[in-house]
Structure 1
Amino acid sequence: MDASLDTCGRRRVPLLLLPLLLLPLLLLLVEEAAADCLKPHGRGNIVLTDEALLMNDFPEGVDVTLECANGYVVESGSGSMTCVDKNWTEPDLTCKKKDCGPPKPQRNMSFNISAGTLFGAVIRVICDKGFQVNGSSYKSCYATGWSGRAKCGIVTCDKPGEVTNGKSSWVPPDKPKYGDVVQYVCDKGYALVGANHVVCSESGKYDPRPPTCEGKHFGTVDTNKEIGYTPVIVSVICVSLVACIVALFLHKFLLKRKGSYDTREDLKPELLLFQNL
């Protein structure tokens, strides 16, 4: 028995023919669905806007917008593209890296920007002589601008230590800063060994090193000096006397030897006359 469909009593259609009748309609729907564009994608430094990312269907004629990626800015174009015959039109958007520009000047601070100031660049913080970086020594160019906080604080030295048998001129409770001078004096009876003042240098050390105070010991030192010199003087005098005595005896000896061969030619005439009598 054939199954049929009564359409208001006018005619009866077999149920087996129903899929054949609906097939053209289904093909039309599939064809229309196939006309939609695929979901677009960004490329390089160009990305879809948040609105486009939330869309699920992209039928014929629909528009979506692209924008520059994070850290990039529009150089030219609008970034709009349209679905036409299952394909997206080519966007005219071009993007370039954001330029953070030179960092804001700060007191006693400069920057080495040899790497440039574009997005992704890293620069070094440089402090003036006698100052040091407090914080980050580098800054990076991000989409929001320069990152990293830093200040240049003046270099300080440790407080001068106590000087045995002496004192320093540093009175303030704070530490000496770069360029500060500290004077030193010794107590009575003690001598300063080293420089009488030091300077807090850029390295945080004193230049030169702090001095010390040592005892003078006037009496002991003077006595030792006299005792040290007296033997030398006595020795010199003794040697001189011995030399004189030796020279005298040597002279007499030579005179005696000379007298044994004396021809008396050196005698005075009157003495010769006296001897002849």
Structure 2
Amino acid sequence: MVLSDKTLLMNDFPEGISVTLECGNGYLADTGSGIITCIDGNWTELDLTCKKMDCGLPKPQPNMSFNTSDGTLFGAVITVVCDKGYQISGSSFKQCYARGWTGRAKCEIVTCDEPSEVTNGRSSWDSQDVPKYGEIIRYICNEGYTLIGKDSIMCSETGEYDSSPPECKGLLTPLPVTTMPMTTEDRITTKIVTPSTTPAQEASTLTAHGEKSTTTGTAPTVPPSVQEIESHQTRQHFSSLQPSNFDKDNLAIDTNKYIGDTSVGLTVTVLTVLLAVPIGIFLYKFLLKRKGSYDTREDLKPE
């Protein structure tokens, strides 16, 4: 309580004078008049009671609330709280004075930096302003590139994006492999023995691709009839080959059996020819001798 302005201007307080007291700044009169009188040199009892004024709740603002745990009476301090995605601009608190709440505050929406571009791609953001809280930016890769990561990012309440921008990378696509079916006849290549070689001097192997490689040495000449017989026998052996003759590990064909059979046949043929030559010579000489026994050689005698 304080003396009224009129009372403060008085210099003397004679017997029977009355003065007025008022509630101080920030307080309001609750009961009593506040008037006291000088009687017999003493002031009468004061009946005035004062209480703190109440500022009440501040005027509401968009996206703003207040923490009023300290109350709203004179001298109380309250905290300004912004909604999620908004930040305080100005004073973060208000105080209750005799004239009401002091301190100005405003809640503004959170913004993020302009989204970064990605190599070999583009973003959906085409505005001149910066993205605001809750706005989503999507990314698309150029043709021939694959997006690695999330295809979108969002501006969060902290002013940062919820994830890093994705990457656009070109992925190598493997070329399709085409497998052509192969038959036994496609993989086996036969070679006819020439007259200058014999089966005993030719070593043959079949590779995994079905090719026949030979190592040939010098040998006596074989008559054409033997060549025809050998070619026929070779074609017979290779035409009778079945897939079961292939080795499962390296797909090689065991040719020892077929070369052995061919060698026996050719050996018999060569021996027959070699025996026929001396027998023919022997018969030729024998016939000459018999012819000479009947020759009297009379045509050689002198006349």
TM-score band by shorter chain is 0.5 to 0.7
Report the Cα distance in structure 2 between the residues aligned to 1:148 and 1:210, rounded to whole angstroms: 41
Report the Cα distance in structure 1 between the residues aligned to 2:40 and 2:167, rounded to whole angstroms: 94
Aligned amino acid, residue 104 of structure 2: R
Which of 50, 56, 62 is 1:101 aligned to?
Answer: 56
Give 1:177 deviation, angstroms: 1.0
Tell me, what secondary structure is at the counterpart of 1:241? coil
C-alpha RMSD of matched pairs (Å)? 2.5
Aligned amino acid, residue 192 of structure 1: L
Tell me, what secondary structure is at the counterpart of 2:6? helix
Report the Cα distance in structure 2 between the residues aligned to 1:55 and 1:158, rounded to whole angstroms: 68
Tell me, what secondary structure is at the counterpart of 2:249? helix
Report the Cα distance in structure 1 between the residues aligned to 2:165 and 2:17, rounded to whole angstroms: 82
Give 1:148 deviation, angstroms: 1.2
* Residue of structure 2 equivalent to 1:9: none
Report the Cα distance in structure 2 between the residues aligned to 1:196 and 1:84, rounded to whole angstroms: 90
Which of 10, 31, 36 is 1:76 aligned to?
Answer: 31
> Which structure 2 segments of 5+ residues have no match?
178-247, 251-303
Report the Cα distance in structure 1 between the residues aligned to 2:170 and 2:21, rounded to whole angstroms: 86
Tell me, what secondary structure is at the counterpart of 2:7? helix
* Residue of structure 2 equivalent to 1:131: 86
* Residue of structure 1 equivalent to 2:42: 87
Aligned amino acid, residue 249 of structure 2: L
Give 1:114 deviation, angstroms: 1.7
Aligned amino acid, residue 61 of structure 1: G
Report the Cα distance in structure 2 between the residues aligned to 1:53 and 1:213, rounded to whole angstroms: 83
Give 1:206 deviation, angstroms: 0.9
Tell me, what secondary structure is at the counterpart of 1:90? coil
Tell me, what secondary structure is at the counterpart of 1:92? coil
Query: What whole-Å deviation, never above 9, does each CA across 1:181-222 have from its counterpart, x for those lacking one?
Result: 101112233322211111111111111222222333x26xx4
Aligned amino acid, residue 32 of structure 2: G
Aligned amino acid, residue 71 of structure 1: G
1:148 aligned to 2:141?
no
Structure-to-structure mapping, 1:1-277, within 5 angstroms: 46-216=1-171, 218=172, 222=174, 241=249
Aligned amino acid, residue 191 of structure 1: T
Aligned amino acid, residue 119 of structure 1: F
Query: What whole-Å deviation, never above 9, does each CA across 1:20-74 have from its counterpart, x for those lacking one?
Result: xxxxxxxxxxxxxxxxxxxxxxxxxx11112222222111122211111111011
Report the Cα distance in structure 1 between the residues aligned to 2:105 and 2:158, rounded to whole angstroms: 19
Query: What whole-Å deviation, never above 9, does each CA across 1:123-164 have from its counterpart, x for those lacking one?
Result: 111111111111111111111111111121111111112222
Report the Cα distance in structure 2 between the residues aligned to 1:190 and 1:55, rounded to whole angstroms: 94
Give 1:100 deviation, angstroms: 0.8
Aligned amino acid, residue 115 of structure 2: P
Greater share of strand residues, 1 or 2? 1
Give 1:87 deviation, angstroms: 1.8
Report the Cα distance in structure 1 between the residues aligned to 2:27 and 2:165, rounded to whole angstroms: 57
Query: What whole-Å deviation, never above 9, does each CA across 1:229-272 have from its counterpart, x for those lacking one?
Result: xxxxxxxxxxx838xxxxxxxxxxxxxxxxxxxxxxxxxxxxxx
Report the Cα distance in structure 2 between the residues aligned to 1:126 and 1:55, rounded to whole angstroms: 50
After TM superposition, the score normalised by the length of structure 2 is 0.56
Report the Cα distance in structure 1 between the residues aligned to 2:118 and 2:16, rounded to whole angstroms: 90
- Matched residue pairs, number? 183
Report the Cα distance in structure 1 between the residues aligned to 2:4 and 2:120, rounded to whole angstroms: 78
Give 1:85 deviation, angstroms: 2.1
